[in-house]
A and B are shown apart, each in its own frame.
Chain A
Amino acid sequence: MRIFSPIMLAALLWCVAAPLATAQESDFEVKRNYELAYTTIRQRIDSATTVAELDSLLLRLNGLETQYAVKSRFLDKALYPDDFAGSIHKLRQYHGLTYERVYLIQTQGIAIKDYEARLTALEGRIDSLTTQNRQLLGDLKAARQSLTQLRERVRRLSAAMLSRDRLIFALVDTIFLPYDKDMQQVSDVQKEAIARKLLKSNIVARVYDIAADNVKFMEATQLQGKDFKGMFDQVQQFKTKWSGLREKLNAVAQTADAALLEKESSAPATTPGAAPGRKPATGKPRTPAAAAADSAAAAAQRLQLEQPAMFVDTALTQWEAGLQKAFWAGLAREFSSKGAPLQPFSDGAGFTAAIQSYVDSAKKDGRDVSAFVKEVWKEKVDKEWREVLERDEVLGKAQYASLDKMVSEIGEKQFDLKFLLYIVLAAAAALLIYWVFGRKPKPAAAKK
């Protein structure tokens, strides 16, 4: 056996070396084989999901470099504008970046399965909250109840919507977290995986729901001054979160495999009026007409998936506009309910003009505005509406301070005049008393 083994080894070496020695090498074949091996390794790196896989690919990369090092002068010319060393360096860099990312995912306790479970749980809770919200919104529209009951329903609905919004963004975070370093560094395969999860979780539709439901909420309710702060905070938070998510979604949508989109969009069509990208909850057998309609809907859906940001942006704009409209209408109601005749307004500039006009006319007429200043401005506007009015997107701090000063001054002016009148009256009374009772009779001697 010990004698036979070297013979076998020599035979094996001869079998391998002999064809190599006599093989006719076409330069074209050399270049093509190099490019083929290079592309294969790059694709394998791209799809690698474990560190072990990448270790094995590094060995292949080293082998490729060694195998073709003897032909480097030829490859330097043939691979122009790249060269042999440059192409190997690029592949090593790509391998290094992928290795870091895969290592991070594997070693930092990010267990994909845990996230999948969390995703499922979050989806369930969000769906439940969405159903609850819809029911509350329906009740609100149909309700003929006492003001207290209505307020309670609005409060519950508002809280439920906020909880659901938070959960949706938690869901988004969960999807992106394993890759959330830099979307530029995320490979196409991983972007496709993210796209698949986004589609599966109806993320675009859910985010759209946040904005769309808030628009409906604005239309269905009459909020009070103190309610608006939370609403403005909510829309601001949504804008910030959406801004961050939009870039990622676009990056994913651009890379997402057309076949994947085709496959997803060939699912049963969405119901009329449903949010963009929404998948139906149930799939019933379809007639040819329904299939045609589904096909058209699927095409529309694909378009919507490719440009998800556009639809949410539109809903967000509607939400912001609806909130502003509701706010200014609520403030106008506040004045009219207190019998303060302000000219109509629907934005910050209009409100400023209305107050200015009111103050000017009060000064001109010299009428008593103390009730306006005290009961409307100080008690209601300053206490319940000021926080929102001071927001930059509403009126702004400086503008509110200017109006507050203007209104306070007319109040002070009225107070000063009264005070002066009281002083004059008191002085006159004192003088009269003195004249009647305080004057001493002239002495008798003087008469003499």
Chain B
Amino acid sequence: MIRLREFPLQAIAVLLAAGLSSCASLRLEPTDFGWPVEGVLTVSASNTVEEPRQSVTFSVAALAAEEFQDSSALKGSTLRLLRNPEGYFFITGPRFEHVYVFAPSGGALCLEEKIRVTPEQENGRQGLRNPALNQRPPYVELLDEPGVRLLLTRDGIAEHSSAKGGNN
């Protein structure tokens, strides 16, 4: 007999098991979600960006508010967007101090990680100048002037190194 005090925990455990088993019953792997090349997207007047090649459109108002404390700060500017093989979206842009890692979930992009890629400055903002994202499995490479090269994963910075190309 199940005691009332224990019921919620047991119910949650059963639901989790059911959910996990339904996912585990059919898995298509390996799956590569990676884009070969980043999208360089201009933020529209309605605060959205569109990647026509990959048919992805989303609002960046919340992203602007998070990075610049101003939801309209990104209008007219460009963003760099790249999806890694695991399916996470890496987003950054000029003046950004972070690279944002999002996961798609139920018609939204949910923040997985906010990676600081520039040193914190006490006086003023020291953002990226002209960033670019490259696909370098298993990493995403962040390049910026002058000579900045970081290898990123969904969890953070994997490696700092000097800049060298290698996209062949």
Contacts and interface: CB of A to CB of B under 8 A. Distances in A.
B107 interface: no
A26 B133 CA distance: 7
Interface in B53-90: 80
A80 interface: yes
Nearest to B143: A24
Interface string A17-34: 000011111111111000
Contact of B132 (A24, A77, A78): A24
Interface string B157-168: 000001111011
B15 interface: no
B154 interface: no
B37 A24 contact: no
Contacts of A23: 163, 165
B167 A28 contact: no
A74 interface: yes
21 contacts: A22-B163, A23-B165, A24-B132, A24-B143, A24-B144, A24-B147, A24-B149, A25-B143, A25-B165, A25-B167, A26-B133, A27-B37, A27-B134, A28-B38, A28-B80, A29-B132, A31-B37, A70-B168, A74-B167, A74-B168, A78-B36
A72 interface: yes
B115 interface: no
Given A21-B164, A25-B165, 4 more contacts: A22-B162, A23-B165, A26-B143, A70-B168
B117 to A, nearest CB: 14
A90 interface: no
A31 B135 CA distance: 13
Interface residues of A, number: 19
In the A-B complex, the 6 residue pairs with the closest CB atoms: A26-B132, A77-B36, A25-B165, A24-B143, A24-B163, A74-B167
Interface of B: 36-38, 40, 80, 132-135, 143-145, 147, 149, 162-165, 167-168
Nearest to A72: B168
A326 to B, nearest CB: 63
Given A24-B147, A27-B134, A27-B135, A78 B37 contact: yes
A60 interface: no
Contacts of A25: 134, 143, 165, 167
Nearest to B39: A28
A73 interface: yes
A363 interface: no
A134 interface: no
A28 B132 contact: yes
Nearest to A80: B36
A71 interface: yes
Contacts of A28: 37-38, 40, 80, 132
Q: Which of A27, A72, A77, A78 has the most CB of B within 10 A?
A: A27
A418 B81 CA distance: 109
Interface of A: 21-31, 70-74, 77-78, 80
Nearest to B144: A24
Nearest to B145: A24
B36 A27 contact: yes
A72 B167 CA distance: 9
Contacts of A72: 168
Nearest to A20: B165
Contacts of A77: 36-37
Given A22-B147, A74-B36, A30 B132 contact: no
Given A70-B168, A72-B168, A27 B38 contact: yes
A71 B166 CA distance: 8
A72 B133 CA distance: 19
Contacts of B37: 27-28, 31, 74, 77-78
Contacts of A73: 168
Nearest to B165: A25
Contacts of B165: 23-25
Contacts of B162: 22
Given A27-B37, A28-B37, A28-B40, A71 B132 contact: no
A223 B144 CA distance: 88
Nearest to B36: A77
Contacts of A30: 167
A72 B147 CA distance: 25
Contacts of A29: 132
A80 B134 CA distance: 17
The residue in B134, B144, B149 that gathers the most chain A C-beta atoms within 10 A of its C-beta is B134
Nearest to B53: A80
A24 B36 CA distance: 17
A388 B144 CA distance: 85
Contacts of B167: 25, 27, 30, 71, 74
Contacts of A21: 164
A22 B164 CA distance: 6
A418 to B, nearest CB: 95
B163 to A, nearest CB: 4
